[in-house]
Structure 1
Amino acid sequence: MAVLERLPAGTILLCDSQAFGCAGAVFRVDPATGERGTLAMAGDLQGATGIALEADGSVLVSKDRLFPGTGVLLRLPAGTGSQTEVSSGGKFTAPGGVAVEADGRILVVDTFAAGSGAVIRVDPVTGDQTVLSLGEGEGDPPPRPVKLCTAHDGTILVVEQAMAGGADLSARVVRVDPVTGARTTVTSGGELRSPIGVAVDGEGSILIADANAFAGFGGGVIKVDPVSGTQTTVASGGGFVAPQALAIEADGSLLITDNEAMNGVGTLFRVNPTTGEQQVLASGGNFKRLTGIAVVPAAAG
């Protein structure tokens, strides 16, 4: 059996739904220099919505139904640009993001599955889909799940929002029990308006990238206490216009994508989690619409 080459630890991976003439792509970015390369392009990557890494270094990409074909979960084996289908159709309607549990099972958040959205668990070998948790379906329109991540204790964190006519009706962070699927609201309202990116830092705090947070809808990053739900501003304004995807590097630095920054150019920011200072790490070029971000961890052992 061929040994798959792992990407270097710290490498930043970005999925782009519209790069290369809307063909879609997965980019790799050097965390030190910002130099970028293309890991994969075209194929089924048009409409890519989220990205995550499996334990062997393989890359998972979710794809939205609004582009050709139905919702799809793809795998790019480690160190290659080839694409294989893990799961498609079935309960998928509009996959919005993907995460991997400690035991290797895959989680896909789907904004419109079962009517009000759902968290769907996927078997990484067979591709079988199981609905773990359904959206509550309350309100007109109901708040819908858009992104997710896993916490250190195995629970699942989902960001939800409901927009109608440009007005925010509900924005919140929900904790989902990985066994029962039971849902608990961690925080809602406050500065949250259009939460999208979500990640958990080394101390267990929840970080949210919100495209319209704060007065003037300038967007920013919000830290949420996982117990009390208290919200604290990490960064706002500056170069941000509509922050979207979020990931955390090994040293705690935050990585944020913004497709409206720099006069409407896809941009990757690095943000100091203490001071909120923003640094443009990579921008423009072949970036078109950056929808997901992941960081290659150090190999176990």
Structure 2
Amino acid sequence: MAVQELPPAGTILLCDSQAFGCSGAVFRVDPVTGESRMFAMGGDLQGATGLAVEAGGSVLISKDRLFPGTGALLRLSAGTGSQTEVSSGRKFTAPVDVAVEADGQILIADSFAAGFGAVIRVHPATGDQTVVSVGTGEGDTPPRPVKLCTAPDGTILVVEQAMAGGMDLSARVVRIDPATGARTTVTSGGELRSPIGVAVDGGGGILVADANAFAGFGGGVIKVDPVSGAQTTVASGGGFAAPQALAIEADGSLLITDNEALNGVGTLFRVNPVTGAQQVVASGGDFRRLTGVAVVPAASG
């Protein structure tokens, strides 16, 4: 179905893999009022796993359903009403997130590509795929990528977990060199159990949303020092049940999705990065399973 023109800077975008009878959707949320409106629905959006906004305003969606054994990358072109496939199949197996590099190249985190999961670079015009880095595959239950983002210096940050029912099995944050694919573990263990969202703040700090972190597995947000890997609790408990996707607003506030909060209702929280105070921005309505969050950036130049 047709999409609307890209909303104003600061507008929050959410992808939902199961909205409207599992048709899938992208919602736009007013950052002040929390009013939720449909931005796009149906088409190939069922099974949407993550979203990102390109410099030109188009919205990218990763997905892993309706393309059996492969997955796909979609583009929603603001202003034209078109929903097109950028890339599918080939090296894709189970795309779980998408990010955009400074030069416009697209990055996909795929949990099962190349055997142990991989980061794949996609050309934004041709859809050509190149494997940037492959998981190490160690252990009986190797950790696999579940979300990724880029840092201001261009390095790629990936959160990986062993995907074993929330058990503490090799959960970690990995830094990847975008040119060589070399992998460095930034932090592992500690409070990390099921990291499932990652972003970098203005000071270079790495923010991780973890669905099962902390005593009682209530989940929360952890800040990771990019140099030492030291973990600091930003927020835990409160309204959280299983925090998932994470994004950062222009003022530094954190946006967290949680599909188990408020008695199992899809919810978007705003978290103060200093105090950890939680605020419900939007909840319920047409939300079913929120899998990605992004903020419309201010126009450059």
**Alignment partners' CA distance in 1, 2:25 and 2:279:** 24
Structure 1 residue 164, shift from structure 2 partner: 3.0
Contact 1:39 1:81 in 2 (8 A): no
Contact 1:39 1:80 in 2 (8 A): no
**Alignment partners' CA distance in 1, 2:297 and 2:7:** 9
**Alignment partners' CA distance in 1, 2:235 and 2:71:** 33
Correspondence list, 1:81-230, <5 A: 81-164=81-164, 166-230=166-230
**Alignment partners' CA distance in 2, 1:32 and 1:165:** 36
CA 111–182 in structure 1, closer or farther in 2 if over 3 Å, else same: same
Q: Paired residue for 2:54?
A: 54
Question: Which sections of structure 2, spanning at least 5 residues, go unmatched?
Answer: none
**Alignment partners' CA distance in 1, 2:74 and 2:165:** 33
Between 162-171 and 227-236, the greater mean CA deviation after superposition: 162-171
Which SS does the other structure have where 2:215 is aligned? coil
1:286 counterpart = 2:276? no
Q: Paired residue for 1:275?
A: 275
Which SS does the other structure have where 1:191 is aligned? coil
**Alignment partners' CA distance in 1, 2:165 and 2:289:** 23
Name the aligned partner's letter for residue 292 of structure 1: G
CA 8–168 in structure 1, closer or farther in 2 if over 3 Å, else same: same
Contact 2:63 2:71 in 1 (8 A): yes
Contact 1:197 1:244 in 2 (8 A): yes
Name the aligned partner's letter for residue 126 of structure 1: T
Structure 1 residue 169, shift from structure 2 partner: 1.2
**Alignment partners' CA distance in 1, 2:198 and 2:142:** 20
Which SS does the other structure have where 1:40 is aligned? strand
Structure 1 residue 5, shift from structure 2 partner: 4.7
Structure 1 residue 89, shift from structure 2 partner: 0.4
1:38 counterpart = 2:18? no
Name the aligned partner's letter for residue 157 of structure 1: L
Contact 2:15 2:293 in 1 (8 A): yes
**Alignment partners' CA distance in 2, 1:72 and 1:136:** 24
Name the aligned partner's letter for residue 10 of structure 1: G
Structure 1 residue 167, shift from structure 2 partner: 2.5
Q: Paired residue for 1:234?
A: 234
Contact 1:24 1:46 in 2 (8 A): yes
**Alignment partners' CA distance in 1, 2:164 and 2:98:** 25
**Alignment partners' CA distance in 1, 2:152 and 2:263:** 37
**Alignment partners' CA distance in 2, 1:29 and 1:165:** 31
Which SS does the other structure have where 1:163 is aligned? coil
CA 81–49 in structure 1, closer or farther in 2 if over 3 Å, else same: farther
Q: Paired residue for 1:21?
A: 21
Contact 1:40 1:81 in 2 (8 A): no
**Alignment partners' CA distance in 2, 1:166 and 1:229:** 22
Deviations 1:175-226 (A, max 9, x none): 0000000000000000000001100000010000000000110000000000
Between 158-167 and 208-217, the greater mean CA deviation after superposition: 158-167
TM-score, normalised by the number of residues in structure 1: 0.96
**Alignment partners' CA distance in 1, 2:165 and 2:139:** 15
Structure 1 residue 21, shift from structure 2 partner: 0.6
Which SS does the other structure have where 1:280 is aligned? strand
Contact 1:218 1:241 in 2 (8 A): yes
Name the % identity: 83
Contact 2:144 2:163 in 1 (8 A): no
Question: Which sections of structure 1, spanning at least 5 residues, go unmatched?
Answer: none
Name the aligned partner's letter for residue 252 of structure 1: G
Contact 1:244 1:291 in 2 (8 A): yes
Structure 1 residue 64, shift from structure 2 partner: 1.1
Name the aligned partner's letter for residue 173 of structure 1: V
Contact 1:156 1:178 in 2 (8 A): yes
1:7 counterpart = 2:7? yes
Q: Paired residue for 1:259?
A: 259
Contact 1:58 1:75 in 2 (8 A): yes
**Alignment partners' CA distance in 1, 2:76 and 2:219:** 32
Which SS does the other structure have where 1:20 is aligned? helix
How many residue pairs get matched? 297
Structure 1 residue 141, shift from structure 2 partner: 1.1
**Alignment partners' CA distance in 1, 2:120 and 2:113:** 9
